[in-house]
Structure 1
Amino acid sequence: MTNINLSFDEMWEKIIACDRKYDGLFYTAVKTTKIYCRPSCRSRKPKKTNVEFYHNISEVEQAGYRACKRCQPEVEHSPHSEFVKSITTILVNQYKQNLKLNDVAEQVGLSPFYLERLFKKETSETPRTFLEKVRIDKAVQLLQTTNMTNLEIGYEVGFQSLSNFYKVFRSLKGCSPSEFRKMSKEL
């Protein structure tokens, strides 16, 4: 399986949010305790400087870390977790593309109907809403770190229309991209 294409800060945000959709796609290793966890682990969060991320269990264990007793990252909790990992990896790594449910279903070997039903059962959201969240996370990063226009950012993160970009951004962040950029510069 391909590694998930997320920056350190994006992975950090996922562990702060205890986002279980990323379980199995990367592991959080704490240098001071020598313990590794799932992104969804509810244990107290370590200092950011004490964290390393690994993409698979063999890597993290070879580095000398042991599994957390609370979240048990070495144990599969669902028989469908491999499919969910594959779907999530595709959505995160190919977010810029005009992804259709049929394309994703073909890549993982499931029917589109079953893929959507399975993903929703395991993650509590549809592949489309998950993809929109990934795109908005990428847009937030670009708004904070570049001088690209909202139009450029909308297309850069994979939205096919600017109106859809604005609508999704406002529904997830509670403000427009311009308002978000202004607020983040004031901080």
Structure 2
Amino acid sequence: MANLSFEEMWEKIMACDSSYDGLFYTAVKTTKIYCRPSCRSRKPKKINVDFYETITEAIEAGFRACKRCQPDTGLSPQMELVTGVKSFLLMHYKKPLILQDIADHAGVSPFYLERQFKQATSDTPRTYLEKVRVDKAVHLLKHSSLTNLEICYEAGFQSTSNFYKVFRTMMNCSPNEYRRLR
């Protein structure tokens, strides 16, 4: 089973290690439920656990899918949330968004959204939005003759000072220097 011993798989489920999702499934004999290794549900006793390589094996053994981690769906609930938020940010990068707006769209609390997004991407939603905006600005600097002020607003920044600050932080140069170098 993925070249992992029982003990190694046990350690992975105790650590809720999402990098092993899909490689094996944990089945709890007492509840008749199977989960992903990353499931955050209460951990079972070690003697009550079996491991299966595929969902089909777990189902054939009489187990049903966990409602919390939803191992029978393609993506984990966390990745579905993150993918949905990324899509929302790409579609609405020009709008003056705050974390509450993004969380309202996702249907979760701002704290939960930020924690899950950062865990999955190593960025906060705000940082990801700034990266999207800088990418748009870079594209416009390369392929248009718009002024920096026009690019600032076209890329979704609400103020020129924030545009210059974020651009310099991410690109290690000002928009003017970037345009000259390219």
Aligned to 2:34: none
5+ residue gaps, structure 1: 1-74
Shift of 1:100: 1.1
TM-score, normalising length from structure 1? 0.57
Partner of 1:172: 170
User: Are 2:179 and 1:147 aligned?
Assistant: no
Please report the RMSD computed on the Cα atoms of aligned residues, expressed in angstroms: 1.3
Q: What letter corresponds to residue 175 of structure 1 in structure 2?
A: C
Q: Which contiguous aligned blocks of 4+ residues in structure 1 show a shift greater than 6 angstroms?
A: none
2:129 is the counterpart of 1:134 = no
Q: How many residues align?
A: 110
The equivalent of 2:81 in structure 1 is 83
Partner-residue secondary structure (3-state), 1:96? coil
1:81 shift after superposition: 0.9
Query: How far, CA to CA, are the matches of 1:147 and 1:99 in structure 2?
Result: 27
Alpha-carbon distance in structure 2 between the residues aligned to 1:154 and 1:145: 15
Counterpart of 2:111 in structure 1: which amino acid? F
Offset at residue 117 of structure 1 (A): 0.7
What is the SS of the residue equivalent to 1:110?
coil
**Following superposition of structure 1 onto structure 2, how do residues 2-21 of structure 1 map, counting pairs within 5 Å?**
none
Whichever residue aligns with residue 175 of structure 2, its letter is P
Residue 156 (structure 2) pairs with residue 161 (structure 1)? no
Partner amino acid for 1:97? Answer: K
Taking the TM superposition and a 5 Å limit, the aligned residue runs for 1:1-187 are: 76=74, 78-184=76-182
Distance of 1:77 and 1:90 partners within structure 2: 18
The offset of 1:76, in angstroms, is 4.4
Query: C-alpha distance in 2, partners of 1:175/1:123?
Result: 25
Considering Cα pairs closer than 8 Å and 6+ residues apart, tell me whether 1 or 2 has the greater RCO.
Answer: 1
> 1:79 Cα shift?
3.5
Question: Percent of pairs identical after alignment?
Answer: 56
TM-score, scaled to structure 2 = 0.58
- Describe the superposition over 1:45-98 as per-residue Cα deviations: whole angstroms up to 9, x where unpaired: xxxxxxxxxxxxxxxxxxxxxxxxxxxxxx946431110011000111110000
Q: Tell me, which stretches of 5 or more residues in structure 2 are unaligned?
A: 1-72
Which letter maps to 2:99?
L
